């Protein structure tokens, strides 16, 4: 399988497993905006909108993320492209306040399926093509369809998502960012490192455009934390053996799949005679919708998407949410514990004090001011959806969410926004802000999840969703005590 060339070249720190060939530049020499944002700009201009206005409208599109067929694309679980989630509380910096500290915890951009999934998808398509003679109606496209997706790597769409994220981070925190650089870390998988690089490039482009001068500090450093077996890494789980053996998430998904997939499978089999698709295969076909979309050169929804109704996509999002909730979140006794290490790092950054942790923190890196500096105002960390889910659980961000049913679908509102699509889509952005406000003796903390301000109920949030720094840190006793890490290595029986 041929690997896609990387678009970014960056200075690297602690990256023995990342080959230089993977970091080669593939940047367009003419500086044109590419990807779906470029097509939006072209569309605006074809309609007679002036270039300057078209650019402004394009940036507005970037700020809200992917908006094609939102009734479907915003319900693809963790495979949804990034989109800005509606916030009941204004996400603007409140009057008489300024941001003194900002941390982004980001998922990598849109990617191809994993190796195991790409094999499963190719097999189900092979099965359909070998058994079905005629493809009609919405299924007619399958007559000429061939499965060509790769495995594990960022798509061009995913790379553009990360450029957009870097631009958005600079724009939101420009008062800090015009004079400071974020300290950037990435978990060691190639797509995560490349996502961090893309973010850096987007930040750099925005900074250069704002200043109108050369950015001599670019390319920026990326500190990479190894994902090798046995490595301590707060951005990638793998140490807690009892957790790694858990199948609670997959059991929850299987239970709900038996509820929502029978009618879908029956309809697919009625339109694909002799295919004899199973419930799990029906879900594989649903998966192809987001993966083909983010791999498409046009970034428009794949024909697979129209095979399912908006209601079925909500059920699909709920199915994926169950995998996160019971696999890595509060529904798994050891799920939140996998996020404890990062939470303790966040506390250290917010308070300017050394990390105190005995779980997944890498002590070699976190005691070195070059690889874990304190006293910075901007930080950016890049990892995976599962680990972000565990971090959010360790922080108690969704403590008000009741246990999720495995026999009927709960709405996003009933889950208080704790759906996979709203929390960990591709290129997800969780912002942790520390505010200094007039009339307040203590700094205030607030959290934005993909643009949505979360009310920090566990520490007595005010009307704007904020807690004082002391109350926020005080609410994190679970993480500060190490969660349930002592249960990670107990032998059963």
Which residues are tagged catalytic?
Answer: 108
Contacts of 289 (CB under 8 A, 6+ apart): 72, 76, 301, 302, 304, 305, 307, 308
CA distance 421 to 112: 17
Q: How far apart are CA 125 and CA 145, in angstroms?
A: 9
* Coil/strand/helix, residue 259: helix
335 vs 264: CA distance, rounded Å: 31
**Ramachandran area for residue 417 (φ above 0: left; ψ -120 to 50: alpha; else beta):** left
Q: C-alpha dihedral over 183, 189, 195, 197, to 10 degrees?
A: 50
Short-list 331, 332, 177, CA closest to 246: 332
Please work out, in degrees rounded to the nearest 5, the angle formed at the alpha carbon of residue 394 by the alpha carbons of 400 and 449: 65
Q: Which residues, at least 6 apart from 346, have a Cβ–Cβ distance to it below 8 Å? A: 103, 432
The Cα-based distances of 482 to 178, 192, 338, 384, 394 in angstroms read 37, 26, 10, 21, 10
Q: Which tokens go with 109? A: 């951009």
DSSP assignment of 93-145 equals: PPTTEEEEEEEEEEE---BPPPHHHHHHHHHHHHHHHHH-----GGGGGGGT-
Q: What is the DSSP string of 299-349?
A: -PPPGGGGGS-HHHHHHHHHHHHHHHHHHTSTTSTTTGGGGHHHHHHHHHH
The whole-angstrom distance between residue 161's C-alpha and the CA centroid of its chain comes to: 10
CA–CA dist 156, 150 (Å, integer): 12
Helix (H, G, I), strand (E, B) or coil at 75: coil
What is the C-alpha to C-alpha distance for residues 83 and 422, in angstroms, rounded to an integer?
Answer: 8
Q: Which residues pair with 453 in a beta bridge?
A: 448
Residue with tokens 């963790």: 78
219 CB-near residues (< 8 Å, 6+ apart): 8, 9, 10, 11, 197, 200, 201, 204
Measure the N-to-C terminal CA separation of the chain; round to a whole number of Å. 44
């Amino acid at each position: 399988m041929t690997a896609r060339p990387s678009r970014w070249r960056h200075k690297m720190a602690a990256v023995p497993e990342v080959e230089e060939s993977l970091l080669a530049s593939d940047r367009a020499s003419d500086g044109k905006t590419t990807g779906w944002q470029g097509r939006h700009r072209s569309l605006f201009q074809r309609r007679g909108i002036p270039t300057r206005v078209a650019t402004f409208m394009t940036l507005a599109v970037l700020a809200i993320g992917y908006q094609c067929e939102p009734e479907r694309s915003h319900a693809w679980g963790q495979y949804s492209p990034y989109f800005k989630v509606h916030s009941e509380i204004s996400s603007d910096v409140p009057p008489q306040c300024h941001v003194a500290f900002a941390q982004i915890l980001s998922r990598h951009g849109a990617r191809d399926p994993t190796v195991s999934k790409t094999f499963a998808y190719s097999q189900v398509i092979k099965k359909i093509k070998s058994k079905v003679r005629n493809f009609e109606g919405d299924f007619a496209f399958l007559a000429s369809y061939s499965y060509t997706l790769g495995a594990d790597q960022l798509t061009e769409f995913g790379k553009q998502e990360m450029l957009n994220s870097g631009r958005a981070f600079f724009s939101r925190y420009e008062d800090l960012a015009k004079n400071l650089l974020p300290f950037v870390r990435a978990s060691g998988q190639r797509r995560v490192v490349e996502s961090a690089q893309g973010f850096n490039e987007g930040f750099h482009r925005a900074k250069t455009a704002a200043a109108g001068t050369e950015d001599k500090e670019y390319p920026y450093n990326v500190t990479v934390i190894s994902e090798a077996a046995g490595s301590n890494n707060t951005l990638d789980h793998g140490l807690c053996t009892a957790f790694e053996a858990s199948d609670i998430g997959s059991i929850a998904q299987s239970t709900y799949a038996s509820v929502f997939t029978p009618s879908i499978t029956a309809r697919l089999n009625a339109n694909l005679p002799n295919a004899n698709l199973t419930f799990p295969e029906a879900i594989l076909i649903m998966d192809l919708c987001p993966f083909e979309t983010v791999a498409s050169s046009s970034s428009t929804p794949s024909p697979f998407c129209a095979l399912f109704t908006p209601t079925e996509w909500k059920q699909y999002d709920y199915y994926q949410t169950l995998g996160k909730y019971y696999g890595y979140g509060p529904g798994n006794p050891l799920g939140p514990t996998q996020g404890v290490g990062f939470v303790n790092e966040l506390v250290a950054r917010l308070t300017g004090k050394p990390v105190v942790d005995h779980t997944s923190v890498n002590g070699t890196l976190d005691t070195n001011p070059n690889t874990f500096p304190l006293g910075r105002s901007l930080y950016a960390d890049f990892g995976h959806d599962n680990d972000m889910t565990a971090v959010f659980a360790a922080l108690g961000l969704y403590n008000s969410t009741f246990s999720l049913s495995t026999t009927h679908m709960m709405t996003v509102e009933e889950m208080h926004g704790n759906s996979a699509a709203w929390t960990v889509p591709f290129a997800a952005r969780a912002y942790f802000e520390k505010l200094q406000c007039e009339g307040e003796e203590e700094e205030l903390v607030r959290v934005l999840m993909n643009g949505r301000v979360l009310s920090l109920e566990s520490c007595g949030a005010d009307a704007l969703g904020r807690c004082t720094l002391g109350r926020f840190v005080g609410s994190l006793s679970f993480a500060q005590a190490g969660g349930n890490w002592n249960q990670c290595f107990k032998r059963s029986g």
